[in-house]
Structure 1
Amino acid sequence: MAVRDIGFKRIFSAFDQESVAKLLEYHRENGGLSRYVKIRYFFTELLSEKITENEVREYAHQFSKIMINELTKPSYLIQESLRFIKNKYKEYNFHVASGSDQEELRYLCKELDISKYFISINGSPTPKEKLVEEILDEYKYERKYTCLIGDSINDRDAAKSNGILFLAYNNEKLNEFSEIKPLF
């Protein structure tokens, strides 16, 4: 999502812009990975520098402030998805399992008045595969009747590692990995 590009550009504005461009490329290819992973990647792989967990958290906090400022704008919501969720939340059990920061997600969902449509809202720093596993276990969902709808290869991987179906949405490159036809 372009808004996240803006966030990374801003928090790393003082760094070599070629390295920032490489981070953005990595970010776009790994949409479902958390910002914590991407921040570590930027320092360790692209800059060949060490970074402490406190520093990672500080950069993540700066990123979060930018995201909260931007993403509380309803214009970023995908209206087609929102209509589906509003119309079907009483028929299906919807959860959020995201690479985005959990507290930020919960805040955004509350501000956008969409929390009520989800049984749980889960995010990083817990990895997505683990989040999905925890949801399946806690709510005792049968894997054969469970589907993860996602827009990144990491979503597909989380579904696969947990033995559930995957439906690619909002990402043409993933359509070949979608195991079921779109519901909406």
Structure 2
Amino acid sequence: MIDFSKYKLWIFDCDGVLLDSNRMKTEAFANAVSCYPEECVTPFLEFQKTAFGMSRFRTLDAFFERFLGRQAKDGEKENLLEIFAEYCQKQYPSQPLTLGTLSLLDELQAMNRIAYVASGSEQKELRSALTEIGIAGKFRDIFGSPRKKTDLVADIIRNEAHIALDEVLFLGDAKADFEAASSNDIAFLQVSHYAADPSGMDILRKEFNFPHVATLAEVSISERTSS
């Protein structure tokens, strides 16, 4: 059983945890790289589904290095980033909240828990989207790329140094989320229902035995939840 009441600092990933937006992000990458050869694009998009939590900057570096087999030309990566950003700016604010998001955030506020967002999404874009959706005020702060998620989590922990590490919980749906939590010595909870790479996370969970829930609707401070 998981006793969520002991956690005073809650750090959330966004895509696949707070918002059902993983599919939109894949569509944004597909749109950005659509002019490249299909034999490079198709495997890249499969890779991208396993790399959620990685920033768009690092993901596009992988596109050039691993799938095109070359370095980006001057301005080439920047052009793809601009196309990707334009797509996200249009689509992000219309992405639905995941099941249980609003009720959990309301409960955290009522119980005086501290909540942050640490996401691979670009920070300015993320803050704008969550503001438009109406949940930005539920968080003490919202952080995103281009900084690495591991570093974002480390900064949050330093900001809240009065809270012990065993009172901090990271809620994520991807390998990068687990790595950000484990590298900072804090607990990790997998949110599985909206994940882009469920089979990959199943393998990781069997190896490291971290707890999981399907949706945030299963998480409550006042009740213990099965793992």
When the two structures are superposed, what TM-score results if normalisation uses the length of structure 2?
A: 0.74
The aligned runs of 1:24-173 (5 Å cut-off) are 24-51=45-72, 55-74=76-95, 76-91=96-111, 92-140=113-161, 141-170=163-192, 171=195, 172-173=198-199
CA distance change for structure 1 residues 148 and 121 in 2, over 3 Å: closer, same or farther? same
Whole-Å Cα distance in 1 between the matches of residues 107 and 54 of structure 2? Answer: 29
Deviation at 1:84, TM superposition (A): 1.3
Deviation at 1:54, TM superposition (A): 5.0
User: SS of 2:89's equivalent?
Assistant: helix
CA distance change for structure 1 residues 166 and 79 in 2, over 3 Å: closer, same or farther? same
Q: 5+ unaligned residues in a row in structure 2: which ranges?
A: 1-21, 214-218, 221-227
| Aligned sequence identity (%) | 26
Q: When the two structures are aligned, how many residues end up with a matched partner?
A: 183
User: SS of 1:96's equivalent?
Assistant: strand
Q: 5+ unaligned residues in a row in structure 1: which ranges?
A: none
User: Amino acid of the residue matched to residue 143 of structure 2?
Assistant: N
- 1:179 alignment partner in structure 2: 210
User: SS of 2:114's equivalent?
Assistant: coil
Deviation at 1:95, TM superposition (A): 0.4
Whole-Å Cα distance in 2 between the matches of residues 155 and 100 of structure 1? Answer: 13
User: Amino acid of the residue matched to residue 79 of structure 1?
Assistant: L
Task: Give the number of the structure whose residues are more often helix, by fraction.
Answer: 1
Whole-Å Cα distance in 2 between the matches of residues 53 and 124 of structure 1? Answer: 22
CA offsets 1:114-164 (integer angstroms, 9 cap, x no match): 110011100000000000001001121321100100000110010000000
User: Comparing 8-17 with 79-88, which one deviates more in the overlay?
Assistant: 79-88
Deviation at 1:59, TM superposition (A): 1.9
